Amino acid sequence: MELSDEVLCRRAAEHDEAAFDALVARYQARAYRLAWSIVRNAEDARDVSQEAFIRLYQSAGKFDGRSKFSTWFYRILVNLCLDHRRKHRWWTLWTRDESDPESEESLLDRQPAPAQNPVDAIGRERTLKRLWEAVGRLAPQQQAAVILQVQEELPTREIAAVLKCSEATVRVHLHRAVSTLRKTLKTTETD
Amino acid sequence: MAAHPDTELIPYVHGELPAPERERVAQHLRECLDCRRDADELRELLDDLGRAVPRPPDVHWGGYRAELREKLAAHRTRRAWWARPVPLTLSASLAGLLLVVAFLAVQSARQSGTGADFASVEEAAIGDRLGLLEQYQVVERLDLLEEFDLISDLDRLAAERAG
């Protein structure tokens, strides 16, 4: 029978290496993807997500089981990502390479939309690309809230637990973020 | 008509609102065309975003875990800052600095009169050891001790006084 995250975490707290490895294997892809969505750089996402696992190893004993393990771990990870973003904000803006192959990857190649004519498809692709770029420019808490909801599909209650704020605050973050994104969408459509 | 929903609209679209709130928003949407349009646009935007989540570059997970194990091992062997050895030059400089500070403190204490306090404490201690304070009459006339003749006849005078 597969052990729950919470049991594995308790065992990791007792320095059970196998339990820790199992948690890493279970969460590595999610951690890396979430980190990449916030820091937008593969190398940094790798470092930050690994740092989150190191923190998990060091503080597994502090997990009290009041929340789900995933919520607790996401909190560690998102805090590290937001710290990283804060520290590197100006450097990233200054050195951002618009021809970065990572940012040029076709969104529609990866997530094909329902069949459309090619002109529509190109326009749609451009719109989605600009939308996700706009997500990257949102205020850190708003960006994290959008990614946790849209990408990780967490409910508002869990997003609040990850961001350590109230559900009402998460609603405000999401509302403001979506208002900004809709403005971006309208600008893109009028271009 | 109830107030326009704003921050409730996203949780409503996701079906997360508790029943009374959900019903209030639903009622409003039935009556307000603008908000209904807003909710539709919102649903479409969130669906689009969800479908087009950018995917990060691929990772070789074996390499990722090996790197993590190395970092973890480095963390375990790393000592806390207070337990790390201090370089020789730094410790020698600190020792020198401490000596200078101690010397300056002593000098400053002597000059500021704290030295006088030390002297009086020292006098009292010596006096106590000699038993002078027990013979207060003698202590009272300590100035007489400065006369050499008196000092040489001190024992005799004391005997006479007792007799």
pLDDT in tens, B14-36: 999 999 999 999 999 999 999 99
Contact pairs from chain A to chain B, CB under 8 Å: 105
What pLDDT band is residue A1 in, cutting at 50, 70 and 90? confident
Distance to chain A for B1, nearest Cα, Å:
22
Q: By the 8 A CB rule, do A38 and B74 touch?
A: no
Tell me, what's the pLDDT at A35?
97
Tell whether A27 is within 8 A of chain B (Cβ). no
Q: What is the rounded end-to-end Cα distance, in angstroms, of chain B?
A: 120
Name the average pLDDT for chain B.
80
Going A127 to A133 to A138 to A144, the CA torsion angle's sign is positive
Distance to chain A for B85, nearest Cα, Å:
23
Q: Indicate if the pLDDT at residue A34 is higher than 90.
A: yes
Tell me, what's the pLDDT at A105?
44
Q: Which residue has the higher pLDDT, A126 or B26?
A: B26
Tell me, what's the pLDDT at A100?
45
- When pLDDT is averaged across residues B40-69 and rounded to a whole number, the result is 93
Q: Is A31 exposed, middle or buried (0-12, 13-18, 19+ CB in 10 A)?
A: buried
- Residue of A96, A68, A77, A97 whose CA lies nearest to A30: A77
ipTM over 0.90: no
Q: For B52-66, how does the pLDDT look when each residue is reduced to its tens digit (9 = 90+)?
A: 899 999 999 999 999
- Whether residue B75 and residue A54 make contact (CB cut-off 8 A), yes or no, is yes
Distance CA A82, CA A75 (A): 10
Tell whether B63 is within 8 A of chain A (Cβ). no
Q: Indicate if the pLDDT at residue A143 is higher than 90.
A: yes
Q: Is B12 exposed, middle or buried (0-12, 13-18, 19+ CB in 10 A)?
A: buried
Name the average pLDDT for chain A.
85
Contact residues on chain A for B10, CB-CB shorter than 8 A:
149, 171, 174-175, 178
Q: Indicate if the pLDDT at residue B133 is higher than 70.
A: no
What's this model's pTM, rounded to 2 decimal places? 0.69
Contact residues on chain A for B42, CB-CB shorter than 8 A:
178
What percent of chain A has pLDDT above 90?
66
Least confident of A21-35, A54-68, A80-94: A80-94
Q: Tell me the residue type at A87.
A: K
Q: Which residue has the higher pLDDT, A108 or A5?
A: A5
Output the CA–CA distances (angstroms, integers) from residue B151 to A112, B142, B156, in the order listed.
116, 10, 10
Q: Indicate if the pLDDT at residue A97 is higher than 60.
A: no
Q: Indicate if the pLDDT at residue A2 is higher than 70.
A: yes
Q: Which of residues 40-69 of A touch B (CB under 8 A)?
A: 42, 45-46, 50-51, 53-54, 57-58
- Whether residue A175 and residue B45 make contact (CB cut-off 8 A), yes or no, is no
- DSSP H/E element including B41: helix B33-51
Contact residues on chain B for A168, CB-CB shorter than 8 A:
7
Q: Tell me the residue type at A28.
A: Q
Tell me, what's the pLDDT at A26?
96
What pLDDT band is residue B137 in, cutting at 50, 70 and 90? low
Q: Is A23 exposed, middle or buried (0-12, 13-18, 19+ CB in 10 A)?
A: buried
What pLDDT band is residue A86 in, cutting at 50, 70 and 90? confident
- SS3 of A59-81: the string is HHHHCCCCCCHHHHHHHHHHHHH
Q: For A44-76, how does the pLDDT look when each residue is reduced to its tens digit (9 = 90+)?
A: 999 999 999 999 999 999 998 889 999 999 999
Q: Which of residues 30-59 of B touch A (CB under 8 A)?
A: 41-42, 45-46, 48-57, 59
Distance CA A182, CA A190 (A): 12
Q: Is A177 exposed, middle or buried (0-12, 13-18, 19+ CB in 10 A)?
A: buried
- Whether residue B7 and residue A171 make contact (CB cut-off 8 A), yes or no, is yes
Tell me, what's the pLDDT at A91?
59
What pLDDT band is residue B123 in, cutting at 50, 70 and 90? low
- When pLDDT is averaged across residues B157-163 and rounded to a whole number, the result is 73
Residues 6 or more apart in contact with residue B34 via CB below 8 angstroms: B4
Tell me, what's the pLDDT at B71?
95
Q: Which of residues 116-135 of A touch B (CB under 8 A)?
A: 127-128, 131-132, 135
What pLDDT band is residue A127 in, cutting at 50, 70 and 90? confident
- Residue of A54, A56, A55, A52 whose CA lies nearest to A34: A52
